[in-house]
Amino acid sequence: MRTIFYLIRKEFIQIFRDKFIGKAIFGVPIVQMLILVPAVTFEIKNVRLCIIDRDMTTESRELVNQLEGSTFFKVTFSTFSEQEANNLLHKGKCDLVLQIPMGFGKETGNGNPVRIMVSANAINAVNAQLSWAYLNGVIRDYNRNIMAENTSGGTLPPVPQVQVTSRYWYNELLNYKYYMLPGVLGILVLAIGFILAGLNLVKEKESGTIEQINVTPVKKVHFIIAKMVPFLIIGLIDLAVGLIIGKLAFNIPFEGSIAILFLGSAIFLVAVLGLALFISTFSSTQQQFMFTAFFFIIVFILMSGIFTPLESMPAWAQKFDLINPAAYVMRINRMVMLKGSTFQDISTEIYSLMLIAIVFTALAIWRYRKTA
């Protein structure tokens, strides 16, 4: 026991003696939270609209007014030439082109169906889809108004309708910051743990100090544990820093128990540290490790469900996520913070993560050789 304590103490001395790392450990989470949380959002504002109004009637102007009235759209150009509009789209000066054909007002007045044309810049598929959906919403509203006007004369019987009223549970305002922040906390802990711990072990290999440790009676298990514990503690402190920033800067709601959140992240960290140390037993230089680590971190994050929901991924990707620790922590963080899930609610995630942590750590201990 005394040996482990000394090994851990040695790691801490070394970490904080490095002037840069000592500061970066706490600087990184602060900066990461402040930058990533507000920046990574799917909310779309100010879609630049180009209008080709060939009709120029009250009806067409009303549609344009309704579009302009929403926060999503900004009419930046108005033209009569389709070519000019396409040019603007091509040059990236507008995102959406809306063409209102001649006779639009007259036909709607007569109660006949009309067609309008929308072209969207789909370089960014997400953007195009969302602005298309917003536009549809506005047009639907407009349609309803026309119908209301037409029926108000009393000549037609009222059409029975199913009214849909939606309510977004756990995040009523669909605030993307609330959605992203728990995920960013996961990324934060992942990056810190993975890179610091892995590099630490490889550095001992590079500088030859591991040779001197290997001839001592220190047990493999002790050595690996001593490499994990400091970064586990640092990771959890970073999580706390991240949560405080979330509260102070973004006023993030916290429905569940902080203890469960930390439990989830602690198990997640063990899994990540185990994998990092496992990889570092293969790498003989810091460069080799960084290259491999980068690969794993990117795959873990992009497939974790932080940006795209797991449910919309292909089946094989969902299978892969069974062993992706980041996918579990993403769910745990969101469920605990936004939904207030209890231990029972997320026990499957916790136990799965625990299994992954045990396997990765065991692999690291098994692969770490004191003799060549």
Partner 1 sequence: MQKIIEARGICKKFGKTQALKDISFEVSEGEIFGFIGPDGAGKTTLFRIIATLLIPDEGTMEVMGLDSVSGYRELRKNIGYMPGRFSLYQDLSVEENLNFYATVFGTTLKENYDLIADIYSHIEPFKKRLAGKLSGGMKQKLALSCALIHKPGLLILDEPTTGVDAVSRAEFWGMLRNLRQHNITIIVSTPYMDEAMKCDRVALIQAGRILSVNQPDKIREQFTRKLFSVQAPEKYKLIHALRSYPGTVTAYPFGDSVHVTFRSDEFDNSLYEYLRGMGITNVVIHETRAGIEDRFLELMEKGTTAIDRG
* Least spacing, CB of residue 369 vs partner 1, in Å: 10
Residue from 68, 141, 211, 255 binding partner 1 (CB under 8 A):
211
* Least spacing, CB of residue 310 vs partner 1, in Å: 43
DSSP 24-69: HHHHHHHHHHHHHHHHS------EEEEEEESS-SHHHHHHHHHHHH
Between 14 and 175, name the residue whose CB sits nearer to partner 1. 14
Q: Does 218 interact with partner 1 (rule: CB under 8 A)? A: yes
Residue from 14, 70, 86, 352 binding partner 1 (CB under 8 A):
14
DSSP 226-276: HHHHHHHHHHHHHHHHHHHHHHHHH-----S-HHHHHHHHHHHHHHHHHHH
Q: What region does 86 belong to: left with phi over 0, alpha with psi -120 to 50, or beta? A: alpha
Helix and strand element counts for the chain (H, E): 14, 4
Q: Does 12 interact with partner 1 (rule: CB under 8 A)? A: no
Q: Does 23 interact with partner 1 (rule: CB under 8 A)? A: no
Q: Does 372 interact with partner 1 (rule: CB under 8 A)? A: yes
Between 11 and 238, name the residue whose CB sits nearer to partner 1. 11
Between 61 and 205, name the residue whose CB sits nearer to partner 1. 205
Q: Which stretch binds partner 1 (CB under 8 A): 41-49, 65-73, 207-215, 307-315?
A: 207-215
Bridge partners of 49? 75, 96
* Least spacing, CB of residue 4 vs partner 1, in Å: 10
- Pick from 126, 43, 47: which is nearest to 93 by CA? 47
Q: Say how far apart CA 367 and CA 79 lie, in whole Å.
A: 68
* Least spacing, CB of residue 11 vs partner 1, in Å: 10
Residues that bind partner 1 (CB under 8 A): 2-3, 6-7, 10, 13-14, 17-18, 207-209, 211-218, 370-372
